[in-house]
Structure 1
Amino acid sequence: MATHIGYAVPEGSFGFWKERLAQHHVTTEENEIFGEKLLSFNDPDGMQLQLIISAHPDGRKPWTTRDVSQDAAIRGFHNVTLTLRSADATAKVLTDILGYSLKKQDGNRYRFATGTIDTANIVDIIEDPATPAGRNADGTNHQKSLSGWKTTIS
């Protein structure tokens, strides 16, 4: 199931985001994955959101507001992270059907990307055999079926 959503932000913006999130009583944590700096926090439903300084330049027009200037604004999606008991089946869908390729691996974390676009082209998989099964609740991902909405659980 999708457990992390990453958004691209510019170099030097973490100070702004830490202060802004702290003003809203949101706890953050800095980390690095595959050489990219990230600032993580949870949304109210428990989904982990990550602000990521991409290893590759992101020239997309930032989303600015009265409170968020261009030098800190989000550029758009960077990646999604799926946490799965086994990576094999999803990895095959990504590579054999959707045209992604495995770019990096660090322990139980795999990074897949497509070269058809330059941004928002990354799917990370964390393989964790002990992860609990997903459940239908706030913050889960849904897809439309002929009979209505259903939760996709990995």
Structure 2
Amino acid sequence: MAHLDGSHHVTLSVGPAQEDVDFHVGTLGMRFIKRTVLFDGSTPIYHLYYSNAAGDPSAVVTTFPFRQAGLLGRRGTNQAREVLLAVPAGSLDYWSARLTERHVDVADAEVLGRRRLLLRHPCGVEYALVGVDGDPRAGWTGGGVPAEHAIHGIHGVGVHVANPENMVEFTAQHMFAKDLVEEGDRVALQIGAADRGGAVELVVNRTDDPGTWRYGEGTIHHFAWNAETLQNQDELKFAIEGAGYTDISELKDRKYFKSVYVRSPGGALFELAVTHPEGGWTCDESPKELGSAFQLPEQFESRRVELLDQLEPIDI
């Protein structure tokens, strides 16, 4: 039976590569697990990966640093807007102090009956640290954040929409969303288990202009859901296409996972991802060595020297 096991990863278009590393590794204390390049197009752009201790599906944030290419995005409605990360419920005071010490503006909020901290990536993308209980995913402590405070992984995604009805229908019928809750201008649903990063929060936004869907600094490009197996992924794609959502891609091999992309009726680009059965993150590096070398897919290996000359140097 077709299903989704929560989230897989979220991918953003950000600014300078070093600024992005400093934010995710230095400020948030996440584990740097992969440095490679964007597969699509001919312009060399880094693809950087950050995660929790184990690199769990549902715990990976990936980024395309687009400052070097000079391509800007526009945040708006009908677009994924908020990266929601899960932290231990009792750690928010620690995080408020840590962020403030690092000159990150942070605000305290209660949303859907749960405390969270609101902040922004240096490029402007909105983040929230959501306090949760009972999350078994292990945070990374190598970045200086104690285990009792470290980020578990993804909590979910906030999608801004002019009207939420079509997205509620789409996620409920084709992504198995359940447990609908409404609070003010926010409609929340859950895809998969609560500790797998599957929260979807639809924020009614009729004020902003539509945001950009292409690559561009300062925006979320896509949010990936864990389809677990290639057979399940194919069944999901078949059902979504059969319902008339034909803005959906063919299977793409991203080396570490295999992907199908679909434009949701709320504007957010969703990905149905399956970790590559031949190794995932460890197909080219051991678990202890993750992120230590510049990895390239075979089709770009002949351009290694050229790409290294063109891409900005980064210090992890």
TM-score of the two chains, using structure 1 as the length reference:
0.85
Distance change (3 Å), C-alpha of 1:19 and 1:110: same
1:39 matches 2:123: no
| Deviating 4+ runs (over 3 angstroms) | 142-146
Q: 2: distance between equivalents of 1:142 and 1:48? A: 14
1:58 corresponds, among 122, 135, 139, to: 135
Distance change (3 Å), C-alpha of 1:66 and 1:102: closer
Amino acid at match of 1:19: A
Q: 2: distance between equivalents of 1:68 and 1:42? A: 19
**Counterpart for residue 163 of structure 2:** 86
**Counterpart for residue 140 of structure 1:** 220
Quick check: 1:36–1:53 contact (8 Å CA) kept in 2?
Answer: yes
**Counterpart for residue 22 of structure 1:** 100
Distance change (3 Å), C-alpha of 1:93 and 1:15: same
Q: 1: distance between equivalents of 2:179 and 2:193? A: 16
1:35-73 Cα offsets, whole Å, 9 max, x none, are 11101101112111111112x521211222241110110
**Counterpart for residue 89 of structure 2:** 11
**Counterpart for residue 175 of structure 2:** 98
Please identify the structure whose Cα radius of gyration is greater. 2
Distance change (3 Å), C-alpha of 1:66 and 1:142: closer
Quick check: 2:80–2:222 contact (8 Å CA) kept in 1?
Answer: no
Quick check: 1:112–1:122 contact (8 Å CA) kept in 2?
Answer: yes
Range moving further from structure 2, 120-129 or 11-20 = 11-20
Distance change (3 Å), C-alpha of 1:81 and 1:69: same
Quick check: 1:110–1:126 contact (8 Å CA) kept in 2?
Answer: yes
Q: 2: distance between equivalents of 1:125 and 1:48? A: 14
- Count residues with an aligned counterpart: 149
Q: 1: distance between equivalents of 2:168 and 2:208? A: 17
Range moving further from structure 2, 26-35 or 60-69 = 60-69
Q: 2: distance between equivalents of 1:102 and 1:131? A: 28
Percent identity between matched residues is: 22
Q: 2: distance between equivalents of 1:66 and 1:96? A: 40
Q: 2: distance between equivalents of 1:36 and 1:51? A: 11
1:100-136 Cα offsets, whole Å, 9 max, x none, are 024210122101113x423112100011222311024
2:149 corresponds, among 72, 75, 87, to: 72
1:48 matches 2:131: no
Q: Secondary structure, in 3 states, of the residue corresponding to 1:81?
A: strand
Deviation (angstroms), 1:15: 2.4
Q: Which has the higher strand share?
A: 1
Q: Which has the higher helix share?
A: 2
Distance change (3 Å), C-alpha of 1:33 and 1:142: closer
Deviation (angstroms), 1:145: 5.7
Deviation (angstroms), 1:140: 3.1
**Counterpart for residue 149 of structure 1:** none
- Structure 2: runs of 5 or more not aligned: 1-78, 224-247, 251-262, 268-316
Distance change (3 Å), C-alpha of 1:99 and 1:66: closer
